[in-house]
Amino acid sequence: MKKEIPIEQAYRLINHGPVVLVTSAYKDKTDIITVAWQTPVSKSPMLMAISLGVNSLSLDLIEKSEEFAVNIPPVHLLDKVKFCGTHSGTGTDKFSATGLTPVKAQRVRPPLIEECIGHLECQLYNEVKAGDHKLLIGAVVMARVDEDKYDVFLRVDKEGARTIHHLGGDHFVASGALELLPESQTIT
C-alpha cells in the first residue's frame, strides 16, 4: 500500500544526496551556503548543477563573478553546515562565525573550505529560472579530494569521509557502510 504525501514534500523522496557547502566571492565579499539540491548533469563536458533561492546572497555573488566552488563536508561539520544554511551572509561572515578555514582555490576566485574532504571548482556555464530558485550549471574546471578518502570513488564508508545527507526540514543522516552490488546486479 502506498500513501499520498503533500506535493511540497515530494523533493524529500529524492533529496538524500550529499549536502555541500558552496562558496562564492565577488570583489571583497565571500559567502558560504549550504546546498542539498545538487547533481552532476554531464560527463563531457563535466557539468554539475546547484539550485539556489532567487534572493540568496550566494546567487548574487555567483552571477556577478560567474564562478563558485562546491565543498564536500564530512559528518563532523554538521553544526557548521546547519549554521551556513540558516544564516544569511548579508550580515554575517560565515567563515568567522563558524571557524571554517578559507583556502585559495587553484582555478576560481571563491575560496575552498579546508575542513572539507573534496572540492569542485566551477565556472558558471548556464543558469535557468526554476520557480523560486535558479538552477546554476557549473563547468567543473578542477576537482580535488583528500587522498586517503578516495580510490576511484569517495570512500563514504571511512569514518573521516562520511558525508551528510539531508532528508528535509531539520532531518539529516550520515553515509555508512559501503555495500557494492555485484556487477551482474548493477544498472548502468
Is the pLDDT higher at 171 or at 140? 140
Task: Provide the pLDDT confidence category of residue 159 given band limits of 50, 70 and 90.
Answer: confident
67-72/20-26 β-pairing: antiparallel
Show the cell assigned to 63. Answer: 552571477
Is the pLDDT higher at 182 or at 46? 46
Q: What is the pLDDT of residues 33-81, one digit of tens each?
A: 999 999 999 999 999 999 999 999 999 999 999 999 999 999 999 999 9
Show the cell assigned to 94. Answer: 560565515
Q: What is the pLDDT of residue 177?
A: 65
Task: Provide the pLDDT confidence category of residue 173 given band limits of 50, 70 and 90.
Answer: confident
- pTM strictly above 0.95: no
Q: What is the pLDDT of residue 185?
A: 46
Contact 67, 109 (CB under 8 A): yes
What is d(CA 133, CA 147) in angstroms, rounded to the nearest whole number? 34
Q: Fold for domain 7-185?
A: Pnp Oxidase; Chain A (2.30.110)
- Only one residue has cell 500513501, namely 3
Task: Provide the pLDDT confidence category of residue 180 given band limits of 50, 70 and 90.
Answer: low
CB atoms within 10 A of CB 96: 9
